[in-house]
Amino acid sequence: MHYFRIMIKPAAGILLIADPFLKDPHFMRTVVFLCDHQNNGTVGFVLSKVIEQTLEELMNNMEDYPVPVYFGGPVQLDTIHFIHQYPDLIPDSFKVGEGIYWGGNFETVTSLIKAKQIDLSKIKFFLGYSGWGDGQLEAELKEKSWITATATSSLVFETDPTDIWKESLKHLGGDYEKLVHYPTDPQLN
């Protein structure tokens, strides 16, 4: 089946939805939320893979706070990043989409969590990130490894991570909805 791809250029606030046949083990059937795209590279976070460790296991000062952490991507797996919906409470954050903000003061975030002043469904933490060098993502888009879509805060924050790949394709509608039924290996069809 051939389907027409709507090509939205990479930018902050764009979702990269893995093509059904993408075999890279880091990105197979994933959705990546882009937070920054410049001429020299791109940064994003995988929304569909929760890791076994929680924030309390990864940080010394977060005991008794088993906040879920996502696999952000294979780059710098010794770093923790976050996106959220609290621009007024978390200073130094950057708007990357409608109702979606990236980063900010980490000490403030941990204090807000401990004080139970934020809803944990409106913040996501990531171990590592997904990164592309100059021209690398554009090449992958030309190879049709990714389908692009504009992110919504409901897809990013309210969709179960195990469902986000399918829901992102359904969000695009039309022939994209049919892709959720494709096997990971077309030879199995």
- 74 within a domain of the structure (yes/no): yes
Tell how far CA 96 is from the center of its chain.
Answer: 12
From first to last of its 189 residues, the chain has per-residue pLDDT tens of: 444 455 688 999 999 999 988 888 889 999 999 999 998 999 999 999 999 999 999 998 888 889 999 999 999 999 999 999 999 999 999 999 999 999 999 999 999 999 999 999 999 999 999 999 999 999 999 999 999 999 999 999 999 999 999 999 998 888 777 776 666 655 554
Residue 2 lies in a domain: no
Whether 3 is covered by a domain: the verdict is: no
| Per-residue pLDDT at 186 | 54
| Residue 41 domain-assigned (yes or no) | yes
What gap in Å lies between CA 3 and CA 144, rounded to an integer? Answer: 11
Query: Which sign does the torsion angle of CA 22, 28, 33, 39 carry?
Result: negative
Query: Residue 97: inside a domain, yes or no?
Result: yes
Looking at residue 47, its pLDDT comes to 98
- Residue 185: its pLDDT value, please? 57
pTM recorded for the entire structure: 0.90
Return the pLDDT at 184: 62
Secondary structure (3-state) at 184: coil
How many domains does the chain divide into?
1
CATH of the domain at 133: 3.40.1740.10
CB 157 within 8 A of CB 125: no
Residue 127 covered by a domain: yes
Q: Is residue 100 part of a domain?
A: yes
1 occurs within a structural domain: no
Q: Give the residue numbers spanning the domain of 73.
A: 14-188
